Amino acid sequence: MLDIKFVRENPEAVKENIRKKFQDEKLPLVDECVALDAELRNVQTQADDLRAKRNKISKEIGALMAKGEKDKAEAAKEEVRKDGELLDELSKKQTELSEELTRKMMVIPQMIDPSVPIGRDDSENVEVQRFGEPKVPDFEVPYHTDIMESFGGIDMEAAGRVAGNGFYYLIGDIARLHEAVIAYARDFMIDRGFTYCIPPFMIRSKVVTGVMSFAEMDAMMYKIEGEDLYLIGTSEHSMIGKFIDQTVDEAELPITMTSYSPCFRKEKGAHGIEERGVYRIHQFEKQEMIVVCEPEDSMKWYDVLWKNTVDFFRTLDIPVRQLECCSGDLADLKVKSCDVEAWSPRQKKYFEVGSCSNLGDAQARRLKIRIKSKDKGNHLAHTLNNTCVAPPRMLIAFLENNLNADGSVTIPEVLRPYMGGKERLVPKYNSITQKK
């Protein structure tokens, strides 16, 4: 959410930012918010003047009573009573105007960074750089669930009976591989100086609206019926929410944390074959990273975060690329964002495995996360988040890139301690369709 003072003083800049995000339907909101702000400030002035008048008259009543001027004192009391009624009306109007202004302000997108490429949607995102050489083996790479089934490692049919589409059972070596990746990611981030945390997996509505836009909330979040609780779509939500209504001393910054959690998402809409299996699902696990820092340091931390993901995947012999998100693909609270995409030898293209975002002061403004500074006074923090790894989707890239012609899967050296020393996984079946 933007500062209303900024919107008031820079309405054309805010409108141009909306145009860059191809959200022209939101343009009227700028003038509406400026008008509401003016009306709200006018009501505030009236209320302040009325309070001052009431306080003055209240003091005079005692003096009138002391002089024995009872009739004048009673008239003054009546005036105070009427002013009190008017003040109640003004206070109610203030609340209504403030709530309406906040609702509209929360729909206006954050100002994007000047470096963000302009484009309508994710088809216009821009490749920045590649890491590792993408390769296509000289044998056919099966679909990822077929690879998993060759190890007896997945049962989506049973999950469908139990929970419906978009769920899975991971079994045996594949389940162990899943947990090994999470454990390795935890230690990888701890070794990079991040504090490990396991957060709440449910959050209240005031945290939800503090960390994401209404559109994201509707598309992603599962609500717990009868309670003010939502299942998290990513641990970033509860991790940033940890600092709601807090003032952090500048000496404590930057705060760098890495968190494990399950994640739950509606994932609305129909998806093609490449997004079936465990690509787009309602439940998964994730190792996340978040930063709370000074505003002037947030772009530096943005680069640190996405590079952490690149380095992580490269230690697992997975080629990746960084893709800069264009203006139309940025969620409304984001200042700048990029995706890390992994190479799929089967699809012969890259697909998203992580997303890094700088949200500027958007979340901090909504959640009231401030920094206490001797020199700069209290001011809003900047917040960032990034995915380190999110299996089981990540397992698609892992299995395809480490698959051998005989159907076995090589375990990279860094992951072997988490796999009981195993150097490779051997399939249970001679092929994806025939048991031994």
Largest CA distance in the chain: 109
The DSSP line for 4-39 is HHHHHH-HHHHHHHHHHTT-GGGHHHHHHHHHHHHH
Does the pTM exceed 0.95? no
Judgement on whether residues 80 and 137 belong to the same structural domain of the protein: no
- Asked whether the beta carbons of 417 and 151 are under 8 A apart, the reply is no
Instruction: Tell me the C-alpha distance between 109 and 302, whole Å.
Output: 20
Residue 94 confidence (pLDDT): 93
Judgement on whether residues 393 and 324 belong to the same structural domain of the protein: yes
pLDDT beyond 60 at 435: no
Cα 306–311–313 angle (5° rounding)? Answer: 100
Judgement on whether residues 90 and 127 belong to the same structural domain of the protein: no
pLDDT beyond 70 at 274: no
Judgement on whether residues 140 and 49 belong to the same structural domain of the protein: no
Which whole number is the average pLDDT over 399-403?
A: 97
Judgement on whether residues 171 and 79 belong to the same structural domain of the protein: no
List, for residues 69-85, the tens digit of each pLDDT value: 777 777 877 777 787 88
Q: Which of 59, 79, 105 is the last residue of a domain?
A: 105
Of 91, 90, 100, 87, the residue nearest 58 (C-alpha): 87
Residue 270 confidence (pLDDT): 42
Is residue 134 in some structural domain? yes
Assigned token pair, 223: 């609500």
Judgement on whether residues 140 and 217 belong to the same structural domain of the protein: yes
% of the chain with per-residue pLDDT over 70 = 96
- Asked whether the beta carbons of 132 and 394 are under 8 A apart, the reply is no
Query: Which ranges in 234-282 belong to alpha helices (H)?
Result: 235-241
Cis upstream peptide for 109 (omega within 30°): no
Which whole number is the average pLDDT over 133-143?
A: 95
Is residue 63 in some structural domain? yes
Give 268's pLDDT tier (boundaries 50, 70, 90): low
pLDDT beyond 80 at 231: yes
**Number of domains forming the structure of the chain:** 2
% of the chain with per-residue pLDDT over 90 = 82
- Asked whether the beta carbons of 398 and 318 are under 8 A apart, the reply is yes
Judgement on whether residues 83 and 127 belong to the same structural domain of the protein: no
Mean pLDDT of the chain: 92
Cα 369–374–375 angle (5° rounding)? Answer: 105
Residue 95, classified by CB atoms within 10 Å of its CB into exposed (0-12), middle (13-18) or buried (19+), is exposed
Cα 199–204–209 angle (5° rounding)? Answer: 105
Judgement on whether residues 304 and 374 belong to the same structural domain of the protein: yes
Least confident of 134-138, 269-273, 277-281, 421-425: 269-273
- Asked whether the beta carbons of 325 and 128 are under 8 A apart, the reply is no
Run of H or E including 55? helix 27-66
Assigned token pair, 14: 């805010």
Is residue 343 in some structural domain? yes
pLDDT beyond 80 at 63: no
Instruction: Tell me the C-alpha distance between 104 and 368, whole Å.
Output: 18
pLDDT beyond 50 at 339: yes
Instruction: Tell me the C-alpha distance between 361 and 368, whole Å.
Output: 10
Judgement on whether residues 298 and 220 belong to the same structural domain of the protein: yes
Is residue 235 in some structural domain? yes
Residue 250 confidence (pLDDT): 97
Run of H or E including 325? none
Least confident of 67-81, 360-374, 384-398, 407-421: 67-81
Which whole number is the average pLDDT over 405-413?
A: 96
Judgement on whether residues 126 and 100 belong to the same structural domain of the protein: no
- Asked whether the beta carbons of 185 and 287 are under 8 A apart, the reply is yes
Is residue 112 in some structural domain? no
Q: Which of 105, 132, 161 is the last residue of a domain?
A: 105
Is residue 436 in some structural domain? no
pLDDT beyond 70 at 271: no
Residue 240 confidence (pLDDT): 98
How many residues belong to the chain? 436
List, for residues 19-31, the tens digit of each pLDDT value: 999 999 999 999 9
List, for residues 152-209, the tens digit of each pLDDT value: 999 999 999 999 988 999 999 999 999 999 999 999 999 999 999 999 999 999 999 9
- Asked whether the beta carbons of 157 and 167 are under 8 A apart, the reply is no
Is residue 115 in some structural domain? no
Residues in Cβ contact with 366 at an 8 Å cutoff, skipping those fewer than 6 apart? 1, 106, 209, 210, 211
pLDDT beyond 90 at 436: no
Is residue 434 in some structural domain? no
Of 365, 370, 376, 366, the residue nearest 246 (C-alpha): 370
For residue 148, give the 3-state DSSP assignment.
helix
List, for residues 287-332, the tens digit of each pLDDT value: 999 999 999 999 999 999 999 999 999 999 999 999 999 999 999 9
- Asked whether the beta carbons of 90 and 43 are under 8 A apart, the reply is yes
Q: Which of 79, 105, 131 is the last residue of a domain?
A: 105
b or e along 246-285 (b: 16 or more beta carbons within 10 Å of the residue's beta carbon)? eebeeeebbbbbbbbbebbbeeeeeeeebebbbbbbbbbb
Residue 60 confidence (pLDDT): 79
The DSSP line for 96-131 is HHHHHHHHHHTTSPPPPPTTSPP-SSGGG-EEEEEE
CATH code: domain of residue 88: 1.10.287.40
Judgement on whether residues 159 and 281 belong to the same structural domain of the protein: yes
Cis upstream peptide for 254 (omega within 30°): yes
- The larger pLDDT score, comparing residue 48 to residue 275, is at 48
What is the extent of the structural domain holding 267?
A: 122-425
Judgement on whether residues 30 and 172 belong to the same structural domain of the protein: no
